[in-house]
Amino acid sequence: MAQDVRIEVETRNNDVTDSELVCLRGVSKLYEKRGSESIRALSAVDLAIREGEIVALLGPSGCGKSTLLKIAGGLYEPTEGEITIAGDRVEGPSRHVGMMFQTPALLPWLTVLENALLPVRVRRQSRKRAKQKAMEYIHLVGLGGFEHRYPNELSGGMQQRAGICRMLMSDPVVLLMDEPFGSLDELTREYMDVELRSIVRREGKTAILVTHSVQEAVFVADRVVVMTSRPGRIAGDVEIHLEGDRGSDLLDSEALLLYCRKARALLDSASGAQS
Amino acid sequence: MKGALRPRLVFERFRGLLTFVVSLVVVLVVWQWAAVTERVSPLILPKPTAIWDELLFFFDNFFSGVGYWRHTWVTVQEMLLGFAIASASAFVLGTLVSEFRMVREVVTPYAVALNATPKVAFVPVFIVWLGFGMAPKVLVAALIAFFPVFVNTITGMHSIHVEQVELLRSLRASRWQTFRILKLFNSLPFVFAGLKTAMVLSVIGAIVAEFGGASEGLGYLIRQSSSRLRADQVFAYITVLSVLGYVLFDLISRVERKVVFWVDRTHQSQAVTS
């Protein structure tokens, strides 16, 4: 690849201070398998995320980035280490967190609006009051007019838009997204990335996006955290300094390409060190 | 252009029906020919026209004369009661089995054993226990119809998408909420597949139980005519039963399409039909 790009690994201080919103300290995950060696999915991961920061976890498939995200969301338990979000220790799913998955995970017997209202329904809050907010989000993600449609009437991209609405409706401090656009075609994905970034910024949320697309990571995030595989470790960070709003015109810009190369080089050197 | 295409489109639309009618006519003509020329004894294979005459007689005497409605109604009641008892108990038990480990451990061995048992073998015993009335027939119908609903309920409750479960966990839903919001609805397409099988099986259960000893019902009529070597009557009653079975099956299919509207029809075969 481009040899002229020097790899500057800006190891931003991942040591944990109290000012960080999301802190992972020494997180490891071991999968015990009967009759064979246990598999180490994650090895001593330290990660600290500032409030309002958008971080992309970038790595090859099987590097444990999804596992890390689900540990942060309290869905999986770490073998070692601890996670705090907004000062609260994570021991199971946290109310501060809103999640998106690789599939939209919409309930097919509920309309878009009913799906968006699911967090409110689970919390037994007043649905009437939440409905107006849900409609705002539905319009925000460009699903206005589709609120009474069922998921199987929508395209894959539209289904993930509904997923964004539902995530926002749980009124989270931190958004955790596990390759949400991984199954979409490239054009739709780019489109969704543009909107995702602007929505997360607009709502002033902190976010972690897991992806195996270099371009997606660089475009959406303020900081790309590159991971190595087996066991999953953090190889380094690439800070993305791009001025102003990020529109689709940025996608094929020189600046973005430079960052992509940087991230790619880090990724290559990391996986080269492994094999 | 469009006008020229029309007749062809009309033909395409009714093509399936046309094929069926033609094949039916061919089968009936060959059958009639074989019976009239006595290549096959009429005691074994009656003429289609003779069956038709018996069918006409059946409906002429439905409310008046012999009063076939009484026999039909008895069998329908046995079927429907058996079906209802089987469906309700299988759904409830299937749900409990998939939700509670304790129930699963207790019920599974019995379920496996009973499923492997030919249920109609119980007919003589049930008649001894419950007499010659409707009760033993309902019980046999219920017993046969139970398993497809039971197995499909369990399958449906378990075949949930991992990410849907994780979503509800991330929303901090309680176990009861997860059941009510996700599992219950997720199981419905499977449950309906089971119900359709159960409907057909409950007809079998009721008829076989009537063979074992009854004083009324369509199964009773079949046995009577059979012992009098009236194959034409037997075939007429079988025709009535098959139409009855079809109507009930179709009824459930219609309810299914209304209730589980979100299921892509092409994927519906994924449900277990035991």
pLDDT tens digit sequence for A186-210: 888 888 888 899 889 888 889 999 9
Contact list in B for residue A101 (CB cut-off 8 A) is: 163, 166-167
What pLDDT is stored for residue B145 in this prediction? 95
Q: Note whether B132 and B31 are same-domain residues.
A: no
Q: Note whether A160 and A228 are same-domain residues.
A: no
Residue B245 within a domain:
yes
Q: Note whether B12 and B62 are same-domain residues.
A: no
CATH number at residue B157: 1.10.3720.10
This prediction's pTM? 0.83
Residue B88 within a domain:
yes
Q: In the structure encoding, which two tokens stand for residue A110, read together? A: 């509920």
The verdict on a CB contact (< 8 Å) between B262 and A101 is no
- For A150-170, what is each residue's pLDDT tens digit? 999 998 889 999 999 999 999
Residue B26 within a domain:
yes
Question: Which residues of chain B register pLDDT less than 50?
Answer: 1, 266-274
Q: Which domain holds residue A252?
A: 51-76+91-96+172-275
Q: Note whether A141 and A235 are same-domain residues.
A: no
What pLDDT is stored for residue A230 in this prediction? 76
Q: Which domain holds residue B33?
A: 2-40
Q: How far apart are CA B229 and CA B233, in angstroms?
A: 9
Q: Quick check: helix, strand or coil at residue A16?
A: coil
Residue B47 within a domain:
no
What pLDDT is stored for residue B273 in this prediction? 42
- For A201-260, what is each residue's pLDDT tens digit? 888 889 999 998 888 898 888 899 988 877 888 888 888 887 777 877 777 788 888 888
What pLDDT is stored for residue A6 in this prediction? 46
Q: Note whether A162 and A181 are same-domain residues.
A: no
Q: What is the mean pLDDT of residues A65-74?
A: 89
Residue A207 within a domain:
yes
Q: Note whether A116 and A199 are same-domain residues.
A: no
Q: How far apart are CA A73 and CA B28, in angstroms?
A: 68
Asked whether residue A128 carries a pLDDT value surpassing 60, the answer given is yes
Hey, of B160, B161, B170, which one would you mutate to test binding to chain A, going by the most A CBs within 10 A of its CB?
Answer: B170
What pLDDT is stored for residue B107 in this prediction? 92
Q: Note whether A178 and A270 are same-domain residues.
A: yes
Q: Note whether B93 and B12 are same-domain residues.
A: no
Asked whether residue A3 carries a pLDDT value surpassing 80, the answer given is no
**Whole-angstrom Cα Rg for chain B:** 23
Q: How far apart are CA A96 and CA A176, in angstroms?
A: 10
Q: Note whether A182 and A65 are same-domain residues.
A: yes
Query: Which sign, positive or negative, has the C-alpha torsion B8, B12, B17, B20?
Result: positive
Residue B260 within a domain:
yes
The verdict on a CB contact (< 8 Å) between A109 and B261 is yes
Q: Note whether B86 and B207 are same-domain residues.
A: yes
Q: Note whether A157 and A266 are same-domain residues.
A: no
Backbone angles phi, psi at B211, to 5 degrees: -55, -35
Q: Note whether B62 and B25 are same-domain residues.
A: no
The verdict on a CB contact (< 8 Å) between B185 and A122 is no
3-state per-residue secondary structure call for B90-138? HHHHHHHHHHCHHHHHHHHHHHHHHHHCCHHHHHHHHHHHHCCCCHHHH
CB of B264 within 8 Å of any CB in chain A?
A: yes
Q: Note whether B11 and B113 are same-domain residues.
A: no
Of A95, A103, A108, the CB nearest to B172: A95
What pLDDT is stored for residue A129 in this prediction? 86
Q: Note whether A68 and A192 are same-domain residues.
A: yes
Place of tokens 């009324």: B216
Q: In the structure encoding, which two tokens stand for residue A40, read together? A: 């180490």
